[in-house]
Amino acid sequence: MKIIVLGAGVIGVTTAWQLLGDGHQVTVIERAGGPAQLTSLANAGLVAPGHAFAWASPGAPGMMLRSLWRGDQAIRFRPRLSVRQWAWVARFLGQCNGASARVNTARKARLCVYSQAMLDQVVAETGVRFDEKRGGLVYFYRTRASFEAAAAKCQILRDAGIAIEVLDRDATVAKDPGLAAARGEIAGSLFAATDASGDAHLFTVGLARKCAEGGVAFRYGEEVLDLRTRGREVTAVVTDRGDVAADAIVLCLGVMSPHLVERLGIRLLIYPVKGYSATLTITDRSLAPRLGGVDEQNLLAYCPMGERLRLTATAEIAGYSTGFRPADFRVMFDRARALFGGAADFGDPELWAGLRPMTPTGMPVIGRSPYANLWLNTGHGHMGWTMANGAARILADLVAGRPPAIDTEGMACEG
């Protein structure tokens, strides 16, 4: 089949790779000048099935409410005059109960575990290099109460087959001596030995190169404007260069996905949740973290990537702007300096802000749309790098009419 993939983020490129492997003739249309230029550019890099907890949890509404007057909340709500935002928030709040959080976490964990296996397979097939680091990720807690609560709730991840170790302060620092400076601040951690990390941008660029060598046509610098339809079928993709026809189309436009299909009556509840990242040069390896991880109290993620240290923080439900000011990074840097002060050059960071394409449940939308030849692979939220290769394999299986290797419950398009 002739298939057009819309978007060359990590989701579009992994999808193109799997479709190519199935023998399809694949074209990718991307408005940026290359792959992984939007949300897949500078994320935290964590391949983190051990961090698959649903963000819509019983504690989230309180955080959102407090964030209206306090700047220190992990999830921040910035109300806008936007029907899209309020519709999303209403559905998100509807998921913030114990029962939904357990279901959503279990489903996310299943997809993440599968996806990590698919990532390994793709790396074995292609040899793509992306500053990969294996050996686990450390999720550490600063208070006894939060540590004990985490130790109790990690069973749900163990049930999904993820090996989680509960470590006290000393065992945490022994696992990663880069945390020694923060020893007195750490109550304990969850350690996921099979979690890993790597640069999603490097991976996507490398895989796009492999796709192109295999015959995938990349049309960069071309903006998708609309979809032409006849009945319940898409006949062409309308771009700023004209119409492009195909047998099937796969939507992988991240946060922009709902906008393209709205006119077709497809309602995708995907809304941007903004985060900030800073990339620093490591200057003293002995003080730098050996493994990636998360300071759970501050939701500060850190990840060594070769000679670089990537930091990310903040989840803002605030609209589509990717702009940032130095002040947006102040708290992140204060906390990171306290952890890894002498490890990296804080004087010349590379700053970035990105928009997580979040659904209310945290599960992506993968499968056929109400239009017979329009497929969806979008809405991977805060875990798109972790979920990408599994989501792509599932999408390719569905296109081929094969049953996917895992249960796809929770991934269907509702609109």
Ligand X SMILES: Cc1cc2nc3c(=O)[nH]c(=O)nc-3n(C[C@H](O)[C@H](O)[C@H](O)COP(=O)(O)OP(=O)(O)OC[C@H]3O[C@@H](n4cnc5c(N)ncnc54)[C@H](O)[C@@H]3O)c2cc1C
In the complex, the residues that contact ligand X under the rule CB under 6 A are 7-12, 29-32, 36-40, 43-46, 48, 223-224, 252-254, 256, 275, 277, 301, 312, 354, 356-357, 378, 380-386
Task: Give residue 385's identity as a one-letter amino acid code.
Answer: W
**Rounded least distance, CB 306 to ligand X, Å:** 16
Residue ranges of alpha helices (H) inside 95-225 are 98-126, 144-153, 155-159, 169-175, 200-214
**Exposed, middle or buried: residue 109 (CB in 10 Å: 0-12, 13-18, 19+)?**
buried
**Rounded least distance, CB 187 to ligand X, Å:** 23
* Closest CB to ligand X among residues 13, 156: 13
What single string gives the DSSP state of each residue in 47-68? E-GGG---SS-TTHHHHHHHTT
Going 267 to 273 to 278 to 284, the CA torsion angle's sign is negative
**Rounded least distance, CB 317 to ligand X, Å:** 13
What is the widest separation between alpha-carbon atoms in the chain?
A: 65
Report the 10 Å Cβ neighbour count for 219.
16
* Closest CB to ligand X among residues 10, 75: 10
CA distance 307 to 371: 46
**Rounded least distance, CB 45 to ligand X, Å:** 5
* Closest CB to ligand X among residues 148, 324: 324
* Closest CB to ligand X among residues 64, 260: 260
**Rounded least distance, CB 201 to ligand X, Å:** 9
Query: Under a CB-based contact definition with an 8 Å cutoff, are residues 415 and 265 in contact?
Result: yes
**Rounded least distance, CB 292 to ligand X, Å:** 8
**Rounded least distance, CB 32 to ligand X, Å:** 4
* Closest CB to ligand X among residues 136, 381: 381
| Token representation of residue 65 | 């409410």
Residues 6+ apart with CB under 8 A from 349: 278, 279, 280, 329, 333
* Closest CB to ligand X among residues 16, 186: 16
Alpha carbon of 347 to those of 142, 279, 303, 343, 350: distances in Å? 27, 11, 18, 12, 10
- Least Cα distance to 269 among 393, 378, 194, 368 occurs for 378
* Closest CB to ligand X among residues 11, 123: 11
**Rounded least distance, CB 38 to ligand X, Å:** 3
CA distance 227 to 260: 8
CA distance 244 to 131: 36
* Closest CB to ligand X among residues 344, 358: 358
